[in-house]
Amino acid sequence: MSTYRAARIGYRRCFGSDTTVRTPIIRAHSEVVFHWLNFGFRVAGMALTPPIVLTIAGFDPSSGAGITADIKTIAAHECYGVSCITALTVQSTQGVRRVEGVDPKIIVETLGELVSDLAVDAVHIGMLGNAQVVEAVASFLGQIFPGRAKLPHVVLDPVLKSSSGADLLDAAGTRILIEKLLPLAELITPNLDEASVLTGTAVTNLDQMREAAARLHSLGAANVVVTGGHLEKAIDLLSFTTARGTEEEVFKADRQRSNSTHGTGCAFATALACHLAHGRGLPEAVLLSKVYVSAAIANAHPLGHGVGPLNHLYRMGQQRRSSTVVSEGEHVHSRN
C-alpha cells in the first residue's frame, strides 16, 4: 500500500469521509494540514494525486470547445478534470446550431456531488447560457466556499457569444455575472468583445484594454486578462493586484494564421486554472497558457469543414514526433 493511500485511509478513519459536514475545529485543522502535506508532496514531485480542476461550461459534441475540450486541456496540464455541463449545444466545426440549457437544479446537484467527493483545487467557468444558471453557480460557489480566503482558484471566462456569432449568454445573465460571479473570481479572462460588453466601452487597442481592465477592477474583479488575439499583433494584457497595488504585464506575439482556432478562449482560461492549481503565479500562468494555446494551434490537424479544433493533447504526439518550436513572443513588465 502506498504511503499516500495509508495516510488517506488513516485520515478517513479519524475524521470521516464527508467533506461537507466538518464542524469541529480539530477536524477542519487536520484537513488543512493534510491538504498542505499533499501539496508539499506534489511540489516535491512525489505525488500521489494530481490537482483537481473543475470546469463548469457548455457541451460541444465536436470537442473543439466546452467540457470535453477542457478535460483534454486539464489532462495536458497533469491535473485531473471533473465537469459540470451548463448547456447542451448542437454544433460542429461549422458553427453552433442550437443551445439547450440544463436545469439549474441538476447543475447545483452535480456541483454538490463533486465537491463532497473530491477536493477541488481550481474552477474554470465558461459558457453559462442564461441568468438562472449564472445565479445558481454564483450562489453555489458562495455557499460551498463561504468567504474569499477559502475559495479554490476560480477563473471566469465570461463567454457571451460563440466565435460563429451565436448568443451564449442573455443580457440578464450578463448583469448577474458582473454583479455576483465577477467578485468571486480570482481571474477574469474577457476577449476584446467581451471586455467591451462588460464595461460598456469600445475596446480595440492596448490603451482601451487598460481602461477596460481598470473598470473591471472597479466592478470587483481581483485580476484581469484582456485577450487581444484578434488584433493585428496579438496582445494580451494582464492587470493584477499585488501588495504594492495594481501591476500589469503585456504579452505580445505574432498573430497565428490558422483555421484551427475553435475554442482557443476555453483552452486559454482552462490552462490558466490548471497553472493556478499547480501553485504558479499569475504572470507565469498567463505566459505558459499562451504558449500552450499557440502550440495546440500549431500542432492541430485539419478536421471538419469549418473552423477546426486545437490539438489539446499535442504533447502526447511529441513522444514520437519532433516538436514544433513555438515563439514566446515579446514580454513587457511594468508597474503602475
Query: Of the listed pieces 47-55, 213-221, 245-253, 275-283, which binds a second copy according to CB under 8 A?
Result: 47-55
Position among 34, 41, 88, 179 found at the interface with a second copy (CB under 8 A): 88
| CB 15 within 8 Å of CB 22 | yes
110 touching a second copy, by CB under 8 A = yes
Give 94 or 205: the residue with its C-beta nearer to a second copy.
Answer: 94
CB of 203 to a second copy, least distance (A): 32
Binding residues for a second copy, how many (CB under 8 A)? Answer: 59
81: contact with a second copy by CB under 8 A: yes
104 in contact with a second copy (CB under 8 A): no
Q: Identify the residue among 31, 101, 118, 256 touching a second copy (CB under 8 A).
A: 118
Nearest to 222 by CA among 250, 193, 196, 188: 188
CA torsion 89-271-279-216 (nearest 10°) is -70
Among 103, 193, 284, 330, binds a second copy (CB under 8 A): 103
User: Grid coordinates in use for 316?
Assistant: 502526447
Residue 44 one-letter amino acid: A
In the bound complex, what is the minimum distance in angstroms from residue 306's beta carbon to a second copy?
7
Q: Do the strands 80-92 and 95-101 form a parallel or antiparallel pair, or are they unpaired?
A: antiparallel
Between CA 254 and CA 272 the distance in angstroms is 21
CB 83 within 8 A of CB 295: no
Selected from 57, 65, 73, 85, the binder of a second copy by CB under 8 A is: 85
17 or 205, CB closer to a second copy?
17
Closest to a second copy by CB, 17 or 327: 17
Residue 102 or 231 with smaller CB distance to a second copy? 102
The CB-of-236 to a second copy minimum distance in angstroms stands at 27
The number of C-alpha atoms within 13 Å of 148 and in the hemisphere containing its C-beta is 11
**What is the rounded end-to-end Cα distance, in angstroms, of the chain?**
53
3-state secondary structure of 198: helix
Burial of 18 (0-12, 13-18, 19+ CB in 10 A): exposed
Please, what is the minimum distance in Å from the beta carbon of residue 312 to a second copy? 8
Contact call for residue 151 and a second copy (CB under 8 A): no
For 208-258, the DSSP string reads HHHHHHHHHHHTT-S-EEEEETTSSEEEEEEEEEETTEEEEEEEEEEPP--
Chain positions contacting a second copy, by CB under 8 A: 2, 4-5, 8, 12, 17, 48-50, 52, 59, 61-63, 67-68, 71-72, 75-76, 78, 80-85, 88, 90-94, 97-98, 100, 102-103, 106, 109-110, 113-114, 116-118, 301-306, 309, 312-313, 315-317, 319
